[in-house]
């Protein structure tokens, strides 16, 4: 991906996160990325193309995260819980931007989010073998992620989550 294209997607995500889809106009994205509108239109000929670019970015980042999760030496479940405490990175920004798009009834954004969630669950299930345990670990990670993105810091949360994971594993 080109540097300009990445800058445009970064600007689009930033506007979505801060102000929502209605404020993320082509003019606003071009201005935020410090690119002419013609430069924006070269890479994304419409807002629909920009939205698709954001979806593609999320899918790509999600695929890389699931691969890292499956390859993690500590196991997929521990990786998932540790990463659930992270916020502010490229995957996090893409997730939040997609959620903002989904709030505006963008079914395609919802589909990408559901697909990613399914891949995370499948990686957990492959390790944990029990669908209920995989589901509970995913929900535990969801709660930890919610705290991370809302600024709630609980220094003992990860240790407690890993203790519970150990119990769930038996």
- This prediction's pTM: 0.91
How confident is the model over 15-40, as pLDDT tens digits? 999 999 999 999 999 999 999 999 99
Provide the percentage of residues in the chain whose pLDDT is more than 70. 98
Average pLDDT over every residue of 134-140: 96
Q: What is the predicted pLDDT for the residue at 1? A: 56
Instruction: Report whether pLDDT(106) > 70.
Output: no
What whole-number distance in Å separates Cα of residue 86 and Cα of residue 147? 10
**Cβ count near 50 (within 10 Å):** 22
Domains of the chain are 3-169 (1.10.357.10)
What whole-number distance in Å separates Cα of residue 156 and Cα of residue 35? 44
Q: What is the predicted pLDDT for the residue at 62? A: 96
Average pLDDT over every residue of 83-111: 87
Q: What is the predicted pLDDT for the residue at 153? A: 84
Q: What is the predicted pLDDT for the residue at 137? A: 96
Average pLDDT over every residue of 146-163: 91
Q: What is the predicted pLDDT for the residue at 109? A: 74
């Amino acid at each position: 991906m080109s540097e300009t294209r990445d800058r445009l997607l970064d600007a689009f995500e930033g506007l979505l996160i801060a102000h929502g889809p209605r404020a993320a106009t082509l003019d606003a994205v071009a201005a935020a990325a410090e690119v002419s509108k013609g430069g924006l239109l070269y890479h994304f000929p419409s807002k629909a193309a920009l939205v698709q670019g954001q979806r593609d970015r999320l899918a790509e980042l999600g695929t890389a995260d699931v691969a890292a999760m499956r390859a993690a030496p500590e196991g997929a479940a521990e990786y998932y819980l540790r990463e659930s405490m992270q916020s502010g990175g490229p995957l996090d920004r893409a997730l939040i931007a997609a959620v903002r798009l989904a709030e505006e009834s963008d079914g395609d954004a919802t589909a990408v989010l559901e697909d990613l969630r399914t891949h995370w669950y499948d990686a957990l299930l492959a390790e944990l073998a029990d669908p209920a345990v995989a589901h509970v670990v995913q929900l535990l990670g969801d709660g930890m992620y919610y705290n991370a993105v809302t600024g709630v810091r609980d220094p003992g949360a990860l240790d407690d989550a890993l203790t519970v994971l150990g119990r769930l594993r038996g």
